[in-house]
Structure 1
Amino acid sequence: MSRTKLVLIDGNSITYRAFFALPALSNARGQVTNAVFGFTQMLLKILQDEQPTHIAVAFDAGKKTFRHDHFEAYKGTRQETPNELREQFPLVRELLDAFGIRWIEVQNFEADDIIGTLSRFSDAADMETLIVSGDKDLLQLVSEHVHAVLTKKGITEVDHYDPAAVEARFSLTPAQIVDLKGLMGDSSDNIPGVPGVGEKTAIKLLNMYPSVEEILEHIDEMPGAKLQERLRENRDLALLSKQLATIHRDVPIECTVTDLEYAGYDPKTVQQMFQKLEFKSLVDKITREIDSSSTDGAAKDGEVASSLSNIPVTVVDTANDLEALWNDLPSPIGLIADMDSKDYQTANILGLAVGSEDRAIYIDLTGDLELIDVAPLWAPEYEKTVFDLKTLIVLLDAHGQAVHADGDWFDVLLAAYLLNPSEGEVRLSDIVERELHITIGTVDAKTEARVETLARQATLLPQLRKPLRDALSAQELDDLYRDVELPLAFVLARMEAIGFYVDAERLRNIGEELTQQLTGLTKDIYALAGVDFNINSPKQLGEILFDKLGLPTSKKTKTGYSTSADVLERLAPYHEVVAKILEFRQVGKLQSTYVEGLLKVIRPETGRVHTRFHQALTATGRLSSSEPNLQNIPVRMEEGRKLRLAFEPSYEDWVIVSADYSQIELRILAHLSGDEALIDAFRQGMDIHTRTAADVFEVSPEEVTSLMRRQAKAVNFGIVYGISDYGLSQNLNIPRAQAAKFIADYFDKFPGVQRYMTDIVEGARKQGYVTTLLNRRRYLPDIHSKNFNLRSFAERTAMNTPIQGTAADIIKLAMVRIDKALATSDLKARMLLQVHDELIFECPEQEADTLIEVARDNMENALTLNVPLSVDIHHGKSWYEAK
């Protein structure tokens, strides 16, 4: 008996999720196409992975269904579907027509009901069936022959469910999913359930009795009088909710499972559809498929991605082989370094994988050939595509090979990061799957297949070059990529390679001082508490503070009292021991995390710490660092600032220079908002917090007290982050009503700022993203969320990202400009570190004044705003003295 497999796709669910998971793509005609593109990605992956013999896509036919006859408010809380999404459903149906896939909708029923009916037919025929959706309701259909995949993150990351997986996730059978919904309800569909009964309680009850009906027959046996009362009062609601959640499996469908047979698609028809939608990467992919096909028929079994295993691998390990390679090496090429360690700063290079679209080459560097022999690879004549250029530069530099920016480099990592900065850690496998629909695994350094795997993966890099460049161009990110991020990779690589000299002996002395301070604090805490105890034990600390000293607390939980930092800060006014405990924690962290932590990462051969800069990680465009994280050294405490005493220049007659942007985010806010009062204050060189206090409190600048200025400062910086009255009240320890008045008064005096905040959020709702002045994008899929907390966070992010992201862009621009200025000068000065809005340099003492001029000029003129950019610059014999 031949294998048959039916795939049933929930068209509404997948299209909806694709819309909110992907950037707001559009074609030349202005059509938004991100949902169609995402749906296509999922479809191609299903056809490749599942190779179905039968397939159908189900859609809702309209807003009104038979469920509304039973409960008029069904789905009544859902927000209106955005026009940008609604307009894409016809395009999805047209796409399915191009693929030759049957799509089905039936008036008065939902897609779930259609899937339920078709799966009933296939289940009765013992036919293997796979349901694809993002809706957990469909898990009620899972059986021995019917399985489901539910989207988990985005549209291609999924969870697989068979009956055992459903039970493992919910401790219920698939059939009990409707009973679960009957008890707990479903806010997304406005199914009420039993008020006060959540998932945990519902599962507990269903483990006692298997259905809503049986639970209602045994209410007296349910745990707790309150729960029994809720069940009695909401009996009818529970039964109605179960009815609403139950998928109807007898929909009058004008087709049978046999009618859904699928033999594959016609690549030329699909190619025409992709061209119409302007899916350039998919057009290129299917064009290659057509070119490589020996017939004009449909793609076999719906297979899309070509197999990497078909590409032969050439190993180059002799001088003669290498000479032959130089004679016919194609361009562009992909480059991957084969390292013997994940620590690229100290790893050895075992070889280099070199690939074009149809050639896979591995240059073995463990035998006769050396790295210097392959230096022509980074010559300008080759177009080179890599993943993570900065890492490659640092790796090559450690082995004596200098890589210059004048070569034709394309970094897949940076391009993908700019296109979707909220993705988090960018992985090559994700990019390849998204753009080329090819699945690649991780490379195991211990396997013999490592060489061939790397060489074949290198062939994928040149294939990514065009689709990613086209995407950058479509989103107007070319300039940001070419003028900022790509050259910055070279700057950061040099900074990593140089490192920052740390006087280990001085650091140990600081550690000894901190140890003595901890000893003194411990004695003080014991004396104030009246008993010795383990200060680092939350349990013992909670007992001392709340049981013994009687400090006010919230209700005690099973795990004891909370002694988190925010709790202790609120308790500080009640007893002096609390301030000592907070200080003890801060000093302890300085000792363990920073003194001991830094001593572990000082490189013995250089005496320096070589932090790793992460250029493609944060959603705002900010740089971050790790191993060690030098951006996180606490500076609010003098003890924290003293750690910077150990950071010194590399040579005795050199100095450290620190250049720090002054209030850059507020200056950007003034520019973006166009607020006349804010712009005037900066143009006049006034202290902005004093000016704000004078305006809000309606006093002259001379009458502003330190308290007024502190409150104004909190509002100024809080406004940038969309602070609420509650947040401001916590920051300033004032009543919420007073904080609300403070914010209202601020907006009254600076109306342009309020207008900006309103407009930027409204723009984010329409576009789905916000941009910086250099056009860096940040997508905000939660801006339309029904969840208040998620939506509010997205709104605050919309307010802040253009400001914080522009600040990140400006300092990156400044770094690139300064690096070029230093490279074309006779100065020996070197850039060492970037920390938020601050750049750290080292230079010979006699060059300090010149370096300060170079830094100031390039930082203050990195980008022209309506207000001047200002930089504070100092120098000294350590990082501490330079501040």
Structure 2
Amino acid sequence: MRALGGPPETGCVTIEPAKLVLIDGNSIIYRAFFALPDLTNAAGQHTNAVYGFTQMLLKLLSEQQPTHIAVAFDAGKQTFRHALYAEYKGTRQQTPAELSEQFPLVREVLAAFGIPALEFAEFEADDILGTLSRMAEATGMQTLIVSGDKDLLQLVSDRVHVALTRRGITDMERFDPALVKARLGITPQQVVDLKGLMGDPSDNIPGVPGVGEKTAVKLLQSFPSLEAILAHLDHVPGAKLKAKLAEHAEAARLSKQLATIRRDLPIPIHWDDLAYAGYDPVRLMPVFHKLGFRSILERISREIGEVNEQAQDRETVAVSEAAREHVDVPFRRLTTHDALAAWMARRTGPVGILPDWRGSDYQTGKLMGMAVADRDEAVYVPFNGELSVQDLHALWSPALEKVVFDVKALAVLLERHGTSLVHDGSYFDVMLAGYLLNPSDGEVRLPDLLERVLRIRPPVTALGEEVDPADLARTAALLPRLREALAADLAAEALDDLFTRVELPLAFVLAKMEVLGFYVNADRLRELEAEFEQQLQALTEKIYALAGTEFNINSPKQLGEILFDKLGLPAQKKTKTGYSTSADVLEKLAPYHEIVQHILDYRQVGKLLSTYVQGLLKVIRPETGRVHTRFHQALTATGRLSSSEPNLQNIPIRLEEGRKLRRAFEPSYPDWVILSADYSQIELRILAHLSRDEALIDAFRQGMDIHTRTAADVFEVPPEEVTPWMRRQAKAVNFGIIYGISDYGLAQNLNIPRAQAAKFIQDYLAKFPGVAKYMKEIVEVARRQGYVTTLLHRRRYLPDIHSSNYNLRSFAERTAMNTPIQGSAADIIKLAMVEIDRALSETGWRARMLLQVHDELIFECPEAEADALASLVTDKMEHAIALDVPLKVEVHTGKTWYDAK
């Protein structure tokens, strides 16, 4: 074995450079304890700090791939620093018992990982980290220290970096010497001098009274050290400051000594003791089963692939036992008021709630009963006898924490049955939490969520179908436990703020909008139906005349024969069944023959007629005269809302015929108006903010037309000389850049040669270097951490970012560029919706939010409220978030949605 201080042996060939990871155990455990909600395992042990620490450790091992690793702990309360200053850390509060009991559990986790836990009497964890990092540095080894304590920044050098935790547990910022200087204004070596001057209340280090960080940094920018300052007091500006430094010089020296991390401990271990080759999942599984960390077990399995057969058998047994334990929760029906009241009176902890409804969807389904459960008992309340929905009023008390799956659906169901739910902080939606944690999985299903997180297959596999009440109630009993695991994951991934501030309150806003619906004038739709049918007939006759024969225009085979065989147009693509007549093919053929544009128009009008006009007529509810779209909040990987039944976000508006559809959408009352508020170029504004490109920022701050400004810069002409053709090309590039457009894609969009498109992109990136830098750096971020985030920390995982398949990898890179922009736009309008809804509730106005379509919000209100509503909506949307450029909202009103443009 090698003693510390000697170089690590690497054999004859060095494949990868050695990398040492050192973890400040006390700091990270404290951070996890106070960052995560309280968790307990089946034995009643508190586990939130252990959970957070483990989350951080797994992420660190995956990203850093260390060759050597150790975790350092404080050995006890008394250290050599107390001999220097008895009051050292004298103001520290006693460690909570709920935290103290978790330190041994963390050590069990580390032992299962095979990671050494180090502590030495009379020294702190910082001194161990300082000594090990110095010894590693002497061998040429790269070291990363992970902590939440800024004192460790004094150890930073070219070979020693420090990662400080920021939000949650797993979000960290890595400091090298340059970043220390940029953030603190001093060098890493001067951190101890800073502490000597300003002290540290958290460690009860006195410093110099009256000298704060700003003054201390200013002094250290003029003098290299505390000693140099005290030796040259005559050169210190300000008589008062000079007097303070002279009076408290000894306290400053002592403070610096207390803050200085020792780097010379005689550590009696060897490099081999710190060597790390990965963890054995068989050793980890029993520990995590004991702790109840089933979501981490699932995560480990996903990362390492299939584990050995023995480990899989253990997991199966553990899951089966857990499933039996929960399925056997006592169950009973509550059929009388007295029984229900008695049961509710005993509930103090979180309860799981699952509605029992029948029908094709929750908007129209019939509510049959309600399953309610905590960990002790599961009950079912039927609504076909003495009890009704109104008898559950105690369940909706803000004092009772409720765990649900799809709170929006529950709110819509209850509203239709006479009970209104209010966002009061007492609800936790496991569907939304599961979606934020795994946004690329598509629609979130409760059975899949329970199996993935708790490793339990619930008795109920679908909602909205006829189910056994006992099974439904016992499934509800799983929700509180599911909430604990998901809440911890949200906090660990820094998603808890997005969940509580945006997604959860938004669900209640969307529920209101779904219940309200949007009034549609069926007579106007029928007028459009007749108009479109006439247009189709006229187009059909023109197409037949130009073709010289009648044929089935809707048949690709017959259409291909007409275009390519009979009329001799150049074939673009061929399929197995003949010539391709797809839209992109026809658009390229349009200049060759008049018939092609008529065919494109025929298809467009036909789609408007069948999908939208006739489709909308089918979904207008007779009892309300309105369409009640269903908003999908937990579906898209970018965070964008989508809608269905009907989909009101995809009504085509590029053609006048499509825009006419909006004429059928009217306010509820004759003296009301429709108000539309639309973000102007929000994605480009977000791009300017993220890229910090000076030219883009300047253009938006000056209120210039961004496409004209782009064209002027790229073509190097004054803005007044920009032609419509130049602006069109600039617009295509501006929006194309957001989606990581290629030269091929731009050439297709603008119908120009690929070489010309490539030069245009090259010229654009040269004129906007901040954008070019952003595109490069965000892809590197994605490669490094496996995901990218929005401004509000929404995550998009990109598993294909390292794929050997070029197409998969390229798509992941384009997604990395786009998601922070498109996802941030989605977050911002969601946040605005929440704020607007809250403001409308406070004003007592009659105005109502009806619809969200991409970057546009639609309202209806009395005509007398229109101006005030416009001001309120503009203010909330433009100030939903602070960017380096102003957000701009355009507001219009009219008697129909078409007129509000």
State the TM-score, normalizing by the size of structure 1. Answer: 0.68
Tell me which residue corresponds to 2:804: 786
Classify 1:764/1:724 alpha carbon distance in 2 versus 1 (closer, same or farther; 3 Å): same
Tell me which residue corresponds to 1:830: 848
Classify 1:444/1:719 alpha carbon distance in 2 versus 1 (closer, same or farther; 3 Å): closer
Tell me which residue corresponds to 2:445: 427
Query: Which 5+ residue runs of structure 2 have no aligned equivalent?
Result: 1-23, 30-60, 72-107, 115-281, 301-313
Alignment of 1:367-386 (within 5 A): 367-386=385-404
Classify 1:551/1:447 alpha carbon distance in 2 versus 1 (closer, same or farther; 3 Å): closer
Tell me which residue corresponds to 1:129: none
Paired residue secondary structure (1:305): helix
Contact 1:502/1:648 (<8 A) preserved: yes
Alignment of 1:621-636 (within 5 A): 621-636=639-654
1:530 lines up with 2:563 in the alignment: no
> 2 CA distance for matches of 1:546 and 1:268?
68
Contact 2:436/2:495 (<8 A) preserved: yes
> 1 CA distance for matches of 2:70 and 2:401?
41
* Cα distance, 1:467 vs structure 2: 1.1
Contact 2:460/2:472 (<8 A) preserved: no
> 1 CA distance for matches of 2:297 and 2:739?
38
* Cα distance, 1:517 vs structure 2: 0.5
Contact 1:501/1:647 (<8 A) preserved: yes
> 1 CA distance for matches of 2:316 and 2:783?
42
Per-residue CA deviations over 1:177-201 (Å, capped at 9, x if unaligned) read xxxxxxxxxxxxxxxxxxxxxxxxx
Per-residue CA deviations over 1:95-148 (Å, capped at 9, x if unaligned) read 999699xxxxxxxxxxxxxxxxxxxxxxxxxxxxxxxxxxxxxxxxxxxxxxxx
Alignment of 1:114-193 (within 5 A): none
> 1 CA distance for matches of 2:682 and 2:316?
58
1:551 lines up with 2:569 in the alignment: yes
State the TM-score, normalizing by the size of structure 2. Answer: 0.67
Tell me which residue corresponds to 1:724: 742
> 2 CA distance for matches of 1:517 and 1:300?
64
Q: Which amino acid aligns with 2:323?
A: S
> 1 CA distance for matches of 2:466 and 2:781?
54
RMSD value over aligned CA atoms? 2.9
Tell me which residue corresponds to 1:754: 772
Classify 1:776/1:445 alpha carbon distance in 2 versus 1 (closer, same or farther; 3 Å): closer
* Cα distance, 1:560 vs structure 2: 1.3
> 2 CA distance for matches of 1:839 and 1:555?
41
* Cα distance, 1:306 vs structure 2: 3.1
Paired residue secondary structure (1:670): helix
Classify 1:87/1:572 alpha carbon distance in 2 versus 1 (closer, same or farther; 3 Å): farther
1:343 lines up with 2:341 in the alignment: no
* Cα distance, 1:581 vs structure 2: 0.2
Per-residue CA deviations over 1:483-520 (Å, capped at 9, x if unaligned) read 11111011000000100000000111011111111011
Contact 1:27/1:278 (<8 A) preserved: no
* Cα distance, 1:267 vs structure 2: 8.4
Contact 1:539/1:561 (<8 A) preserved: yes
Contact 1:381/1:407 (<8 A) preserved: no
1:611 lines up with 2:629 in the alignment: yes
Classify 1:584/1:278 alpha carbon distance in 2 versus 1 (closer, same or farther; 3 Å): closer
Classify 1:781/1:652 alpha carbon distance in 2 versus 1 (closer, same or farther; 3 Å): same
Tell me which residue corresponds to 1:735: 753
Percentage identity across paired residues of the two chains? 64
Q: Which amino acid aligns with 1:377?
A: L
Paired residue secondary structure (1:833): strand
> 1 CA distance for matches of 2:885 and 2:854?
20
Classify 1:446/1:613 alpha carbon distance in 2 versus 1 (closer, same or farther; 3 Å): closer
* Cα distance, 1:443 vs structure 2: 4.7
Alignment of 1:477-516 (within 5 A): 477-516=495-534
Contact 2:829/2:855 (<8 A) preserved: yes
> 1 CA distance for matches of 2:676 and 2:842?
21
Q: Which amino acid aligns with 1:714?
A: A
> 1 CA distance for matches of 2:775 and 2:791?
16
Tell me which residue corresponds to 1:306: 323
Tell me which residue corresponds to 1:667: 685
> 2 CA distance for matches of 1:299 and 1:694?
64
Per-residue CA deviations over 1:500-552 (Å, capped at 9, x if unaligned) read 00000011101111111101100111111111111001110011001101111
Aligned with residue 593 of structure 1, among 602, 606, 611: 611
Tell me which residue corresponds to 1:162: none
Tell me which residue corresponds to 1:706: 724
> 2 CA distance for matches of 1:344 and 1:874?
33
Per-residue CA deviations over 1:245-268 (Å, capped at 9, x if unaligned) read xxxxxxxxxxxxxxxxxxx99987
Tell me which residue corresponds to 1:460: 478
Q: Which amino acid aligns with 2:741?
A: I
Per-residue CA deviations over 1:328-367 (Å, capped at 9, x if unaligned) read 2342100000002131111111110001113111011111
1:520 lines up with 2:538 in the alignment: yes
1:328 lines up with 2:346 in the alignment: yes
Q: Which amino acid aligns with 1:305?
A: A
> 2 CA distance for matches of 1:665 and 1:446?
38
1:797 lines up with 2:815 in the alignment: yes
Classify 1:306/1:28 alpha carbon distance in 2 versus 1 (closer, same or farther; 3 Å): farther
Q: Which amino acid aligns with 1:718?
A: G
Tell me which residue corresponds to 1:680: 698
* Cα distance, 1:445 vs structure 2: 8.4
Contact 1:659/1:872 (<8 A) preserved: yes
Classify 1:381/1:97 alpha carbon distance in 2 versus 1 (closer, same or farther; 3 Å): closer
Aligned with residue 471 of structure 1, among 489, 494, 504: 489
> 2 CA distance for matches of 1:271 and 1:446?
33
Paired residue secondary structure (2:793): coil
> 2 CA distance for matches of 1:466 and 1:299?
21
Paired residue secondary structure (1:584): helix
> 1 CA distance for matches of 2:663 and 2:832?
26
Per-residue CA deviations over 1:642-695 (Å, capped at 9, x if unaligned) read 000000000000000000000000000000000000000000000000000000
Q: Which amino acid aligns with 2:846?
A: K
Tell me which residue corresponds to 1:583: 601
Tell me which residue corresponds to 2:335: 317
1:658 lines up with 2:672 in the alignment: no
> 2 CA distance for matches of 1:446 and 1:811?
31
Classify 1:833/1:349 alpha carbon distance in 2 versus 1 (closer, same or farther; 3 Å): same
Paired residue secondary structure (2:322): coil
Classify 1:453/1:834 alpha carbon distance in 2 versus 1 (closer, same or farther; 3 Å): same
Q: Which amino acid aligns with 2:810?
A: S
Q: Which amino acid aligns with 1:512?
A: A
Q: Which amino acid aligns with 2:871?
A: E
Aligned with residue 375 of structure 2, among 342, 357, 369: 357
Classify 1:363/1:266 alpha carbon distance in 2 versus 1 (closer, same or farther; 3 Å): same
* Cα distance, 1:440 vs structure 2: 2.0
Classify 1:547/1:87 alpha carbon distance in 2 versus 1 (closer, same or farther; 3 Å): farther
Tell me which residue corresponds to 1:768: 786
Contact 1:360/1:458 (<8 A) preserved: yes
Paired residue secondary structure (2:843): coil
Contact 2:733/2:761 (<8 A) preserved: yes
Aligned with residue 846 of structure 1, among 854, 864, 868: 864
Paired residue secondary structure (2:362): coil
Aligned with residue 825 of structure 2, among 795, 801, 807: 807
Contact 2:401/2:427 (<8 A) preserved: yes
Contact 1:635/1:641 (<8 A) preserved: yes
Tell me which residue corresponds to 1:861: 879
Q: Which amino acid aligns with 2:619?
A: V
Contact 1:499/1:832 (<8 A) preserved: yes
Q: Which amino acid aligns with 1:450?
A: D
Paired residue secondary structure (1:509): helix
Q: Which amino acid aligns with 1:496?
A: E
Classify 1:545/1:99 alpha carbon distance in 2 versus 1 (closer, same or farther; 3 Å): same
> 2 CA distance for matches of 1:597 and 1:768?
42
